[in-house]
Amino acid sequence: MATGRTTTVKTERKWHIIDADGKVLGRVASQAARILQGKHKAGWVPFLDQGDHVIIINAARVRLTGNKEEQKLYRYHSGYEGGLREERAKIVRQKDPTRLVEEAVRGMLPKTKLGNAMYRKLKVYKSGDHPHAAQKPAALEVA
């Protein structure tokens, strides 16, 4: 018989930092998504947010392979009729280089409220400076 009690799981959240300088976008994003979801922990379950915080620095210098710089399209819709806008990755990098990394990681997370909570733990900076030194982030290497 159920007693109606709920148990809360206390998760230790660590901070990780990834330097994206010269690294391939997809590899950086998949590593970050894995850490945000908590899949690197032994007690991972898909219905709990047990992930850690991730800081990605040097997002402006992330590398796109092949012809993606010229051919990859980023689409968004204004909500109005005929409001579909498309931009090439080259233009997106010039306007807001953090958007490349943010959208890549966002696409690898669950499309639920839980995925939104995971995404909020991602911090992306276009240069090497970040205001999270007090959290003592551990460096992560991306292959």
CATH number of domain containing 106: 3.90.1180.10
pTM assigned to the model: 0.89
What does the longest C-alpha to C-alpha distance in the chain come to?
A: 61
Residues 102 and 32 sit within 8 Å (Cβ to Cβ): no
Q: Is the residue at 103 inside a domain?
A: yes
Return the pLDDT at 70: 95
Low-confidence residues of the chain: pLDDT under 50: none
Q: Is the residue at 67 inside a domain?
A: yes
Question: Which residues constitute the domain of residue 55?
Answer: 15-140
Return the pLDDT at 16: 97
Return the pLDDT at 10: 74
Q: Is the residue at 9 inside a domain?
A: no
Return the pLDDT at 104: 97
Q: Is the residue at 68 inside a domain?
A: yes
Rounded Cα distance, 35 and 52, in Å: 6
Q: Is the residue at 5 inside a domain?
A: no
Return the pLDDT at 3: 67
Provide the domain count of the chain.
Answer: 1
Return the pLDDT at 2: 61
